[in-house]
Chain A
Amino acid sequence: MTVLVTGASGMLGRAVAQHLVAEGRDVRCFQRRPSGVAGAQDVLGSVEDQAAVAAAVRGCAAVIHLAAKVSFTGAAAEFDSINVGGTRRLLDAAQEAGVTDVVHVSSPSVAHDGTSLVGAPAGPAEPGHARGDYARTKAAAELLALARSTPAFRVAAVRPHIVWGPGDTQLVERVMDRARRGRLPLLDGGTALIDTTYVDNAASAIAACLRRIDAAQGQALVITNGEPRPIAELLAGICRAGGVEPPAWSVPGAVARGAGALIERAWLASGRTQEPPMTRFLAEQLSTAHWFDQRRTRTVLDWEPSVGIDEGFERLARHYSHRA
């Protein structure tokens, strides 16, 4: 039985594919660039291409869908086409091809309205309340996916929260880079508790979801390490792993949120396409608590994270010291 993994060129997608290969599964990867996953078959293409998607799912029994546009910026239509349209195309093709199980990889931001999350449950996806195009389209995609779930075509959604690990360009390397240039402040002293997910844990949870699809189908489950830490400690851990001095200066969160909104608008108005240095969303992420109740996730998936946060930092340090 072959499992299709979409978006396997990203850090998490690659880790999932590798994990499944290690479990002895037949794995096919589908993305625009080569995944580089040893032991897996690579099919190149875009989720915006119906024919390519149909070809990719042919012969597969299960699909793990990670491909998405992950960004703070970009045209709304692009997010819609990739995140919502891509998911719909994939589900259509999968049903057509006789796939029985789908794990849709979503994000906790689909249920997040910008306030603190303290031991929070997963909560329903709400495209109408989402912050930004990414969260809005991921919310719509999750609703779309879960609505398809039936006993014959089982769909579950998992929402890994802040996935990090060696080679992570989204968070880890960005943090190291900014810290190196002295552009990484703490907001409000960095005391907000944040729960994160070491990449191997996210991968094993996604694999577990496929294994436990009977119990998980129709549900959305947040995945984390279950080890909330003050954001300052997380940033310090990442910086130390990269051999960079951790941030020691703090700005008020309210100021950063306001400034973030301004910078974001000015940046976008200037027509630049890279990430702005600070966005309102990022400022919120860095100054409000985000941690989750993991009890349902662990019961439903019959899963525990295998890499603790401190072990994660050590692995990160080994990775970057080899590269240095």
Chain B
Amino acid sequence: MVALPGVDPSWSAYIDVPSTSGADAPGSTHRWHYLDNGSDIGPVDRPGGGSYDTPGGEPSVRGTLLCVHGNPTWSYLWRSFLAAGREAGWRVIAVDQLDMGYSDRTGVFRRLAHRITDLEDFVAAVGITGPVVTVGHDWGGVVSLGYADRNRDDLAGVILTNTAIHQDPARPIPAPLRLALAPGVHGLGTRTTSAFLDVTLALARPGLDRDVRHAFRAPHRSPADRQGIANFVSDIPAEPSHPSYAALTATAEGIRSLDVPVLMMWGPHDPIFSDTYLEDLAVRLPHADIHRFESAGHLVQEDAAAASTAMDWLAARSVGAGAPAGNGPSRTAAPYVPLGRRIGELANGPEGSTTAVAEMSAAGPPRTLSWRELDDDVAAVAAGLTALGYGPGSRVSLLVPPGVDLTVLIYACLRIGAVIVVADAGLGARGLSRAVRGSAPDVVIGVERALLAARAFGWPGRRISSAPLSAARRKALRVEASLNDLRAARPGTDSPNPDAESDAAILFTSGSTGPAKGVVYTHRQLSAMRDAVERTLGLGPGAALVAGFAPFALLGPALGATSVTPAMDVTAPRTLTARALADAADAIGATVVFASPAALRNVLATSSGLGSTGKRALARITLMLSAGAPIPVPLLEAVQDLVPAATLHTPYGMTESLLVADIDLDGIRAAAASGAQGAGNGVCVGLPVHGTHVAVSPLDGTGAATGEPGTTPGVTGEILVDAPHVKDRYFRLWRTQQDAARTLPWHRTGDVGHFDAEGRLWVEGRLGHVVTSAAGVLTPVGLEQALETVDGVRLAAVVGVGPAGTQAVVAVLETEEAGRRPRLAGSSLAAAARTAARARGVDLAAVITVPTLPVDVRHNAKIDRARVAAWSGRFLSGGRTGSL
């Protein structure tokens, strides 16, 4: 093998391997090429046994990763694993399968069964002893699983990347493979020309460097060299009559009993091995850890940090010799009362005929259900879902706007142990599609618009419509039932309460800080969320609340409170008008309002439309809650005028922990005036709520949160939370979860802030938005607040440009008089901004004005500072820059 980028020449090795494969004549021997980092990592295993302990007692080698490439790649694909393994103490052996790479061209058609035997022959010849972790990609994933299934004695783990083990005979194979197999195309595309090879290499995201592409092609230059590529494609068992179908099925069934740790790393942008195949594997190996690298594709090894993730996972799962036992202290847990318990209690009590849920509509009277009706409806829908085959663990994607139907569906799913998947339409079509697809739902239940999107984007899962549809429509949208059909199903046996530790919900984050992440809650944690809201805000039976903010909307019935959804477009909170809010409040005699800051802004803007009834309804409100984004005090004060009898609370939380801290308007004023040590520089979010522990992990000079968790006043760090209602994990984001939970029992929020001497928490921004200038680490929020007091400034973003540790601090201001194009601020505004910054010890390198700053869709308030920073970097480095 010639020298290639990323490959240490000493890794390249050849070995003559006697074949026991049925494909070969007895006594055949083939020369294999493989990459092996064994000589890099000290004393390796000795053929014929013996210990690989060093004199110090610590095993020098944790074990061996046996890496198997697919088609049309070769061992070069695994070079990052060899390098990472060298650092982590793993011997990594990556083979070139026969007829591929630099291994022999055998001249024989090798089918799947032969290839599994081939791998066993290779391992026997090389003499691997000790723990083995198989690692596979593409068709190599199948071969490696076949090996793992049959060689369990030394098997310590399994790692899979974009592969498939089962082809549903009822479904066609992916279109690109159908094409590659088509008569007339197959030989031409795979062997005669390098088309199949070229197309595969072109799947890398971002594209491969020229020399890397060259390296992948190197051993497959001539048609003869490419015979293996052609044969691999022919060996895809597209239907049960195929000669390799039996071998594939044997492995696919066999692995169901694998009990070693499994990691699946996936690039979802793969035209072949889509999420459908990942889901199939996840069902066969339910204990597997999964990480989907959201932006990666088929060649996930090239696109993402797969190798380092694999090494981290091996350590975290204690795979291999000499691994320390993992796991720190576990999170705080709470006693468990099922989330829907109160619905049944109230239904069967004296309040059974009072309103439980109401839904306002722009046209016509509100739709309401009493507690008894709600309980019956939940039971009916639960039975309908059961009749359709859904039950514990089924993932049900709910694309229904907040209201009666959504409430019924949520509690019906929870009752049967199905996992609700809730993603916000505010993510936009692409973001929503990415979220739904990534959550691999068994069924999508949605309004017609959602079902149209499901068809357009090809979302997985069966379909149920929330509203009745015409027969033609049902057929077109593949809808097998409507919500009313579910209600009409014969009630079956009542399912027992689901296990408290099993998954209950996957709630998607807003996506304001990168692609939306699925956040998994168990039943126990969801119930704890209800208890935290009840205890913190004093909400329980008898309360009547307007649910204008989605995450809290689902909790109304759980709290035993009457809840109403106002008439508004939920995808845009700012469409809530004062009139709609007042009508909703009036309909149930509400005393409590939940609304997002964006909704409140619009309520204020439309308050002149309020009649006297509406004003009276709002005057009855005693508690107003707004969460999701910081709310400036002037806005709160204006809201107070609308709801004069209410205390205004602005609880702090996130999708991963809906309640962390809480404060009211008086508390905010008191905090601002307190002069306590550490008060200031951020948004005060108050004291941690009951049962919730909060700490900060101090930042180091590079802006990384590496410090020991603590609560010292004035010390800025990443905010950490531990509470019974903190999420269980992220969905199919093993690495992200590992990072967020690396200091158990804490969940790392990714927000930065500090405590003051009176125990209040002040939020200073996102960890990823911390600016590291030569003068030190700077968090954005405090300075932004100061800049927003400068005349003419509506909204400010403070970002860093340039290399970490020596960044230039830049203020990007949305001003009342900004023109249509971004520009440098005029001299008087720049001077005023610099003076404000200097008062805080910050030198602003540049002050830029823009017509609008990018904010998140859900709250219309959280600035996308990462985008602002990247844009500012271009704007300030010369040359042409588009608008922000």
List chain A residues, Cβ under 8 A from B834.
Answer: 310
A293 touching B803 in the complex, CB below 8 Å, given contacts A193-B808, A227-B845, A230-B846: yes
B877 touches A192 (CB 8 A): yes
Residues 787-826 of chain B, each 1 if its beta carbon lies under 8 Å from chain A, else 0:
0000000000000011101111000000000000001100
B827-884 contacts to A (CB < 8 Å): 827, 830, 834, 843, 845-846, 873, 875-881
**Smallest Cβ distance from B844 to chain A, in angstroms?**
9
A228 touches B808 (CB 8 A): yes
How far apart sit A189 and B827, CA to CA, in the bound complex (Å)?
14
How far apart sit A233 and B823, CA to CA, in the bound complex (Å)?
12
List chain B residues, Cβ under 8 A from A116.
Answer: 877-878
B774 touches A118 (CB 8 A): no
List chain A residues, Cβ under 8 A from B801.
Answer: 118, 193
Tell me if A229 counts as interface (CB < 8 A to partner B).
yes
A294 touches B806 (CB 8 A): yes
B601-647 contacts to A (CB < 8 Å): none
Q: Which residue of B lies closest to A187 (CB)?
A: B878
List chain B residues, Cβ under 8 A from A228.
Answer: 808, 845-846
A193 touches B806 (CB 8 A): no
A119 touches B803 (CB 8 A): yes
B878 touches A253 (CB 8 A): yes
B824 touches A118 (CB 8 A): no
Which of A28-36, A175-183, A263-271, A283-291 touches B? A283-291
How far apart sit A190 and B877, CA to CA, in the bound complex (Å)?
10
How far apart sit A227 and B846, CA to CA, in the bound complex (Å)?
10
**Smallest Cβ distance from B881 to chain A, in angstroms?**
8
A162-206 contacts to B (CB < 8 Å): 187-193
Interface centre among B823, B873, B879, B880 (most CB of A within 10 A): B879
B25-81 contacts to A (CB < 8 Å): none
Residues 379-401 of chain B, each 1 if its beta carbon lies under 8 Å from chain A, else 0:
00000000000000000000000
Identify A118's interface contact among B805, B823, B830, B873, CB under 8 A.
B873
Q: Report how many residues on chain A are interfacial, defined by Cβ distance under 8 Å.
A: 30
B877 touches A189 (CB 8 A): no
List chain A residues, Cβ under 8 A from B875.
Answer: 191
A289 touching B774 in the complex, CB below 8 Å, given contacts A189-B823, A295-B805, A295-B806: no
List chain A residues, Cβ under 8 A from B803.
Answer: 118-119, 293
How far apart sit A294 and B878, CA to CA, in the bound complex (Å)?
21
A202-236 contacts to B (CB < 8 Å): 226-230, 232-233, 236
A288 touches B877 (CB 8 A): yes
Interface centre among B801, B823, B877 (most CB of A within 10 A): B877
Identify B774's interface contact among A189, A232, A236, A293, CB under 8 A.
A293
Tell me if A124 counts as interface (CB < 8 A to partner B).
no
A192 touching B878 in the complex, CB below 8 Å, given contacts A228-B845, A233-B824, A294-B774: yes
- Please classify the interface of chain A as helix (H, G, I), strand (E, B), loop, or mixed, using the class held by over half of its residues: mixed
How far apart sit A188 and B821, CA to CA, in the bound complex (Å)?
13
**Smallest Cβ distance from B11 to chain A, in angstroms?**
32
B879 touches A287 (CB 8 A): yes
- Please classify the interface of chain B as helix (H, G, I), strand (E, B), loop, or mixed, using the class held by over half of its residues: loop
Identify A193's interface contact among B774, B823, B843, B845, CB under 8 A.
B845
List chain A residues, Cβ under 8 A from B805.
Answer: 293, 295
Tell me if A243 counts as interface (CB < 8 A to partner B).
no
List chain B residues, Cβ under 8 A from A189.
Answer: 823-824
How far apart sit A103 and B539, CA to CA, in the bound complex (Å)?
74
Interface centre among A118, A287, A295 (most CB of B within 10 A): A118
Identify B880's interface contact among A119, A188, A310, CB under 8 A.
A188
Identify B824's interface contact among A187, A230, A287, A293, CB under 8 A.
A230
B824 touches A291 (CB 8 A): no
How far apart sit A226 and B807, CA to CA, in the bound complex (Å)?
11
Tell me if A277 counts as interface (CB < 8 A to partner B).
no
A118 touches B802 (CB 8 A): yes
Tell me if A252 counts as interface (CB < 8 A to partner B).
yes
B774 touches A226 (CB 8 A): yes
List chain B residues, Cβ under 8 A from A227.
Answer: 843, 845
A233 touches B830 (CB 8 A): yes
List chain B residues, Cβ under 8 A from A191.
Answer: 824, 846, 875-876, 878, 881
B873 touches A229 (CB 8 A): no
Identify A188's interface contact among B808, B843, B873, B879, CB under 8 A.
B879
List chain A residues, Cβ under 8 A from B876.
Answer: 191-193, 230, 289
B879 touches A253 (CB 8 A): yes
**Smallest Cβ distance from B556 to chain A, in angstroms?**
51
How far apart sit A254 and B877, CA to CA, in the bound complex (Å)?
14
**Smallest Cβ distance from A161 to chain B, in angstroms?**
14
B846 touches A193 (CB 8 A): yes
**Smallest Cβ distance from A150 to chain B, in angstroms?**
31
B845 touches A229 (CB 8 A): yes
Residues 71-96 of chain A, each 1 if its beta carbon lies under 8 Å from chain B, else 0:
00000000000000000000000000
A287 touches B774 (CB 8 A): no
B827 touches A291 (CB 8 A): no
How far apart sit A303 and B596, CA to CA, in the bound complex (Å)?
51
Interface centre among A192, A254, A294 (most CB of B within 10 A): A192
How far apart sit A233 and B829, CA to CA, in the bound complex (Å)?
12
A291 touches B878 (CB 8 A): no
How far apart sit A107 and B610, CA to CA, in the bound complex (Å)?
69
B846 touches A236 (CB 8 A): no
A193 touches B877 (CB 8 A): yes
**Smallest Cβ distance from A312 to chain B, in angstroms?**
14
A119 touches B802 (CB 8 A): yes
List chain B residues, Cβ under 8 A from A254.
Answer: 879
Q: Which residue of B lies closest to A237 (CB)?
A: B827
How far apart sit A175 and B451, CA to CA, in the bound complex (Å)?
65
Residues 643-672 of chain B, each 1 if its beta carbon lies under 8 Å from chain A, else 0:
000000000000000000000000000000
Identify B827's interface contact among A236, A288, A295, CB under 8 A.
A236
List chain A residues, Cβ under 8 A from B774.
Answer: 226, 293-295, 298
A263-321 contacts to B (CB < 8 Å): 287-289, 291, 293-295, 298, 310
Q: Which residue of A lies closest to B875 (CB)?
A: A191
How far apart sit A228 and B823, CA to CA, in the bound complex (Å)?
17
How far apart sit A189 and B824, CA to CA, in the bound complex (Å)?
8
A291 touches B808 (CB 8 A): yes
A291 touching B802 in the complex, CB below 8 Å, given contacts A118-B873, A191-B878: yes
B100-119 contacts to A (CB < 8 Å): none
How far apart sit A253 and B876, CA to CA, in the bound complex (Å)?
13
B390-436 contacts to A (CB < 8 Å): none
A86-140 contacts to B (CB < 8 Å): 116, 118-119
List chain A residues, Cβ under 8 A from B827.
Answer: 233, 236
Residues 532-560 of chain B, each 1 if its beta carbon lies under 8 Å from chain A, else 0:
00000000000000000000000000000
List chain A residues, Cβ under 8 A from B808.
Answer: 119, 193, 228, 291
List chain A residues, Cβ under 8 A from B806.
Answer: 119, 293-295
How far apart sit A306 and B65, CA to CA, in the bound complex (Å)?
59
Q: Which residue of B lies closest to A289 (CB)?
A: B877
A288 touches B878 (CB 8 A): yes
B323-346 contacts to A (CB < 8 Å): none
**Smallest Cβ distance from B778 to chain A, in angstroms?**
15
**Smallest Cβ distance from B882 to chain A, in angstroms?**
13
List chain B residues, Cβ under 8 A from A119.
Answer: 802-803, 806-808
Q: Which residue of A lies closest to B834 (CB)?
A: A310
List chain A residues, Cβ under 8 A from B879.
Answer: 188, 253-254, 287-288
List chain B residues, Cβ under 8 A from A236.
Answer: 827
Instruction: Give me the 3 closest cross-chain CB pairs, A-B, nearest first.
Output: A119-B802, A192-B878, A289-B877
Beyond A233-B830, A293-B803, A298-B774, list 17 extra A-B contacts (CB 8 Å): A116-B877, A118-B802, A193-B801, A193-B808, A193-B877, A227-B843, A229-B845, A230-B824, A230-B846, A233-B846, A253-B878, A254-B879, A287-B879, A288-B877, A289-B878, A295-B774, A310-B834
Q: List 21 A-B contacts (CB under 8 A).
A: A118-B802, A118-B873, A119-B803, A187-B878, A190-B824, A191-B881, A193-B808, A193-B877, A228-B808, A228-B845, A230-B845, A230-B846, A230-B876, A232-B824, A233-B824, A236-B827, A287-B878, A288-B879, A291-B802, A294-B806, A295-B806
